[in-house]
Amino acid sequence: MTSVLPRSTARITLRRLVLKDLADFQAYRSCEELARYQGWVPQTDIEATEFLNEMHTLELFQPDVWSQIGIAEAGSGRLIGDIGICVGADKLAAQIGFTLAQPYQGKGLASEAVAEAIAMLFDATPIQRVIGITDSRNGASIKLLQQIGMKLSSTDKAIFREQECSEHTYIIDRRN
């Protein structure tokens, strides 16, 4: 399935993570504000190197396995964020998550990247639905999910990082 990448729009390229991304990856993954609503935690350089190498070679779209792909600037190829994708065991739905470095936020780049990742999933797999789950306090993610056409499906109580919260589940279905 690696032939689905790279995939580009006018401003971003979705591509495999590579070892040369280490400094940029570590810069945004070390930002406390970005990590606030994320399932990941900052990593040491050794851990991040292992992660980048694993994601570079991991077969995409394996059921119940999260894979990360890079969001890069289209012109320079510089890593500015990443998108996590996990296809469900039934291969009918996939969950998606995203992170974009702060200097690149507010420009529509994350919306562009996530919309392109969803299009890639619908083009390359038989999945029928993509799901995005976000903390109800994460206004920026809510706005992004709504802008790309995802609809609020449910709001549920959850425990995240040992704290009670509410999570919104957004969905978008394949258009036949």
Count structural domains, the chain: 1
Backbone angles phi, psi at 86, to 5 degrees: -135, 110
Domain containing residue 10: CATH number: 3.40.630.30
Residue 77 lies in domain? 2-173
**Mean pLDDT score across all residues of the chain:** 93
Could you say which DSSP state residue 90 is in?
T
- What distances in angstroms separate CA 160 from CA 20, 35, 46, 142, 153, one per listed residue? 32, 12, 26, 17, 20
How many residues are there in the chain?
Answer: 176
Question: For 55-112, what is each residue's pLDDT tens digit?
Answer: 999 999 999 999 999 999 999 999 999 999 999 999 999 999 999 999 999 999 999 9
Question: For 116-141, what is each residue's pLDDT tens digit?
Answer: 999 999 999 999 999 999 999 899 99
Tell whether the model's pLDDT for residue 28 goes beyond 80: yes
How far from each other are the two terminal CA atoms of the chain, in whole angstroms? 22
